[in-house]
Amino acid sequence: MADQIFSKVVRFIEARLSPREEFGLQLTAGVLLVALAMAVFHALAVAVLGQGGITVLDVQVAQWFHARAFEPLTSVMRIISMLHTGIPMVLLVLALAAYFWRIGAHYWLLAVLVATPTGALLNVAIKYTIQRPRPVFEEPLVSLLTYSFPSGHTAAATMFWGLLACYLVIVRPQWHARLLAVLLSISMVLLVALSRMYLGAHYLSDVLAAMAESVAWLAIWLTAISTLRRRREARQRAAAGPETPTLEQG
C-alpha cells in the first residue's frame, strides 16, 4: 500500500515537472511565480497599512528625490510617465495586439487583450481598497487627487513590457536576443518606476507593489492561456496523430 502511494506521488511530481505534460512544468512554474509575487505584494500592503518600517524609508526616498529635482531631468521624467498612461499606453497595447493578430498569434492576442485591461481595473480596485494618500510636498512637481498604492503607471509598464519580454523569450531562439529582450523590458519598467518616485507621485513601496501586482496578474493569465493551448494541442494530437504547431509560434 505504501509503495503504491509513493509511486503515485512520484508520478504526480514527475508530471508537474515535465515540459510535455498538459499540466506540467509551465503550470508549476506559473503557480510558483504567482505565489511569490502575491507574497511580496501582501507583505508590502500589510507594511503600508500597518505603518511598518518601509513607510519610513518611503518618506526618506521621496524627500531625497524631491530635493534633487532639476531641469531638464524633470521634463524627461514627465515624458517617461506620460508614455505609460492613458492614450499612449492604450496605443502601445493596441499596436502589440495588432501585431499578434497580423502574425496569427491568437493565444498571445488573447493574453494582451485580456490581461492588460483587467490588470488596469485590478489596480484601481486595490487603490480604492488601500486608500493611501499621495506623497505631500510644499512645492510638488505633480498634483494628483487619486490614491497612491500601488502605482498605476508602474503596473501598466510591468504588464506591457513583461508580456512583450515573455513573447520574445519564447519566439527568439538566440540566447542573446532573449537576454536583450529581458534587460530592455526590465529597464523600461525601472525607468517608469523611477519617474513616478522622482516626480513625487508615488512612494517606493507603491512602485514595488505595482511590479508584484502585475507580475502575479500576468503570470495568472499567461499560465491559464498556456494551459488552455496545451490541452487543445494534446487533443488535436490524439485525434490527428501528427504533431501540431505550438503556441510559441502562434
pLDDT digits (tens, 9 = 90+) for 194-235: 999 999 999 999 999 999 999 999 999 988 888 777 666 666
Is the pLDDT reported for residue 239 higher than 50? Answer: yes
> For residue 104, is it left (φ>0), alpha (ψ between -120 and 50) or beta?
left
pLDDT classification of 13: cutoffs 50, 70, 90? very low
- The fold of 26-249 is Vanadium-containing Chloroperoxidase; domain 1 (1.20.144)
Annotated domain spans of the chain: 26-249
Is the pLDDT reported for residue 43 higher than 60? Answer: yes
Query: 228 vs 29, 131, 201, 223, 235, CA distance in Å?
Result: 15, 36, 39, 9, 11
Prediction pTM value: 0.82
Distance CA 148, CA 126 (A): 10
pLDDT digits (tens, 9 = 90+) for 149-182: 999 999 999 999 999 999 999 888 888 889 999 9
Give me 100's grid cell.
499578434
- Please provide the DSSP assignment of 5-43 as one string: HHHHHHHHHHHHH-TTSTTSHHHHHHHHHHHHHHHHHHH
Distance CA 168, CA 173 (A): 9
